[in-house]
Amino acid sequence: MPPPNTPGEGVPAAGSSPPESTEQYQVQVEAGQEQEDGRSRVAPPAAASPIPSIPPTPAASPPQAELPPRVSPPPTPELQFASITTSLESTSPPRPSLSTDQSTRPNRPLFYDHQALEYEGPYDETLQCPICRTPFYLPLTTRTCGHTFCAGCLRRALELRPVCPIDRQPIDKDHDIYQTRVINDQLDRLRVKCPNKGCDHVCTRDRLPAHYSRQCPFSMVPCPDRECSHRIIRMNADPDKACLHRETSCQYCSATVMIADLDSHYDNHCAGHTTKCTQCDSVVVRHRMEGHIAAECPETEVHCRWHPYGCNVFGRRATMQGHQRAGCVYEAIAKLTQARLDDRAVIDELKGRVSTLSSRLNQQEQELRGRSRPSMGHSTGVPVSDFDVHTSTRAASMPYNSAAWGSAEDYMLAQFERIETNAENLRKMVLEINGHHNLRQLNDTMRLDGLISELQSKIGVLGMHTTWLMNVQRQSRGQQRAGGVAGGPPAPEMSTGNSGNAGARMSTEGERLPYMGIPPRRHSNERGEGRGENPPRL
Amino acid sequence: MASQKRISKELADCSASPPAGMSITLASDSDVHKWHITLDGPVGSAYAGGRFGLIVSLPTDYPFKPPVVTFATRIYHPNVTNDATGAICLGLLKPEQWKPSTRVQSVLEAVRALLVEPNPDDPLESRIADEYRANRAEFNRNARAYVNKYATGPVTFSSAAAAGSAAGSGSGSGDATGGKAQGS
């Protein structure tokens, strides 16, 4: 099985200008989509809406920005149909190709064999095409029996016989095939290895085209020289470098070789490409001689590995290995030196820590002295040393006894701990007080809340009263007027109404409409019962 | 490329879990298109105790074209030509019935099933088919005789050697009319 990225696969037709590989790939991908779209378009209306079969490749800047971008003309419908038929008849199925447009884009795009992809980790066997036994590529499902195949596999099978390759149900390649998006989505999540030899990139399958066509350093790309029609591994395609597709004569044999192929020529094809090492008798590729002498040749004379530590043994590499294996004396010295260096680092770190600690200690002593100075009056006079200060000042509260405390440091530490516990106690107290404070605040707020709601309800009732009073007044006025004009009964709509949502309407409607909650009382008022004269009680 | 991928996958599957009574090797390590299979005669059939060589040739456009399966060892069977070609009549393998989704493993199992139960209604050797239908004891005796004669030693896969041995030792059969192979 040849590697997927042999130069032969990427060799374009001769005499073409080198287009951008990225653009090419996308164009080709679009062609594939259109082909699928076209297929769905001729399907009956019951078909699901055509779904692009290839995930959209994220837009990224083309690798060779100095080249003008190519714009691909959108294919006409006729062209799409042409592409369907041509691709259905083509013998290399998994590659959607827009054969009718080949003359304008002679360079084959960056393609890899989808069936040769290596998948990382196990995948669901139901995602496997029953024909090629690899995960589907551009899966298509039959409408009659619901079986799914890769587009290419199905196309080839239908070419031979227009029946389902599983249960032999007749299939019309134009009508009975559709795509299922969910399968595509599942397939896109499979993780695949980059098919390029030398590249160990692993990504999800939908990202592979982007990696392969834009990033992979091992992909074949058009030569940066626009006059050149060859392809070259992206890693070596440096626009600053001259075109590597010039022919040069091999420095060892008479063959003329492309500069880009020199390395492989040296390693494999060069006539007399191997030579005997001048020092040892081994046969080495001539081109690799320097590396051989620098790292491998057993006859080359070298210093002992521990030369920097003083070993002066000098000799053939083979004997040197024996010397080192037997135990160079200087190896121990080297190890000691290394250990000493490590220790030095530790010591330096510790020194730093000690100095910070002592400075902190000094600071605390200063503080203590400053605090104790006022109460120093009774002491004998100017202290001779800090130690004396402590002796005299702390005597009152916590007498310092050099017998009880091993040393001044111990005493200081004890003091320090005491202060720390004090600080801890204080912190606790502060927390407690804070809690009390919060609780009290909460209690107050709740009380205020109650008061406020009470006040609100009172305001509502007052509003009701106002409305009621206004209504009463309006009615009495109306009665007076009516009595003056016709003496008719009060407005009939007052008698109906419910007693609910008393206060809600008082702002706007309450002034225009009669107050709905009042009427029963007004009736009782008309009947002359005194209780109704009172406004509603709180 | 595509076919190679599938074939090597099937070969791996078959080698990992071969069908009952079979062992699979490649004719040559460089070519995955030609498989050599050693098949033990199914117990309970007339072929029990025999070891048969099968050659599976997978075309380059496999799985779109069916594989070609032949017996390298001579066998007395209504559906296998009674000559050095050893062509098998198996419905599964006929071009008009072949399905690309069929695997070699199922083909091999079908061949084994054919030994257990010959299919005299679709024969390659109509004489043997008639005998199978009319006189089962005679058929069994003949089949056993063929097994003893051809299918006891180590299996050889070269069809030329099989033909040579057939010409040398089994000349008495006199039924090596290759034209019949395509008859069915």
Q: Which helix (H) or strand (E) holds A217?
A: none
When CB atoms are compared, the residue of A1, A156, A165 closest to B4 is: A1
When CB atoms are compared, the residue of A113, A160, A166 closest to B1 is: A113
Distance, CA of A487 to CA of A360 (rounded, Å)? 102
Distance, CA of A168 to CA of B92 (rounded, Å)? 13
pLDDT at res. A102 = 35
Nearest Cα residue to A53 out of A92, A11, A94, A18: A94
Neighbours of A18 (CB within 10 A): 21
List, for chain A, all residue ranges whose pLDDT scores fall below the cut of 50: 1-108, 376-397, 487-533
Tell me which chain B residue has its CA closest to the CA of residue A168: B99
- Write the single-letter amino acid at A248: T
Report yes or no: B94 at the A interface, CB cutoff 8 Å. no
Q: According to DSSP H, which parts of A311-407 are helical?
A: 317-327, 329-372, 386-393
B14 counts as catalytic: no
Residues with Cβ < 8 Å from A382, sequence gap 6 or more?
Answer: none
Inter-residue contact B182 to B89 (CB < 8 Å): no
pLDDT at res. A258 = 75
Convert the pLDDT of each residue in A184-214 to its tens digit: 888 888 888 888 888 888 888 888 888 888 8
Nearest Cα residue to B54 out of B15, B17, B95, B109: B109
Which of the 8 DSSP states describes residue A128?
B
Contacts of residue B9 in chain A, CB cutoff 8 Å? Answer: 133-134
Contacts of residue A157 in chain B, CB cutoff 8 Å? Answer: 64, 100
Q: Does the beta-carbon distance from A156 to B64 stay under 8 Å?
A: yes
Distance, CA of A301 to CA of A314 (rounded, Å)? 7
Report all structural domains of chain B as residue ranges with CATH numbers, in order of start: 2-174 (3.10.110.10)
Neighbours of B62 (CB within 10 A): 21
Q: Which of B32, B89, B90, B166 is catalytic?
A: B89
Q: Does the beta-carbon distance from A165 to B100 stay under 8 Å?
A: yes
Which of the 8 DSSP states describes residue B17?
S
Task: Give, in order, the Cα–Cα distances in Å from A203 to each of A23, A121, A207.
Answer: 21, 12, 6
Q: Does the beta-carbon distance from B5 to A153 stay under 8 Å?
A: no
* Strands of chain B, DSSP E: 22-28, 31-40, 51-57, 68-71
Long-range Cβ pairs for the range A237-243 (8 Å, 24+): A239/A64, A239/A66
pLDDT at res. B45 = 86
Q: Does the beta-carbon distance from B64 to A133 stay under 8 Å?
A: no
pTM strictly above 0.90:
no
Token digits for A495?
Answer: 């008698």
- 10-residue mean pLDDT profile of chain B (184 residues): values are 78 86 85 88 87 90 88 90 86 86 90 89 88 90 89 71 40 39 39
Strand order, beta sheet including B51-57: B22-28, B31-40, B51-57, B68-71
When CB atoms are compared, the residue of B5, B64, B100 closest to A116 is: B5
Distance, CA of B159 to CA of B34 (rounded, Å)? 13
Distance, CA of A199 to CA of A220 (rounded, Å)? 12
Nearest Cα residue to A129 out of A100, A159, A107, A150: A150
Q: Does the beta-carbon distance from A133 to B1 stay under 8 Å?
A: no
pLDDT at res. A403 = 55
When CB atoms are compared, the residue of B1, B10, B63 closest to A131 is: B63
Inter-residue contact A436 to A444 (CB < 8 Å): no
C-alpha A290: how far from chain center = 45
Tracing tokens 């509260």 back to the chain, one arrives at: A397
Nearest Cα residue to B23 out of B51, B46, B3: B51
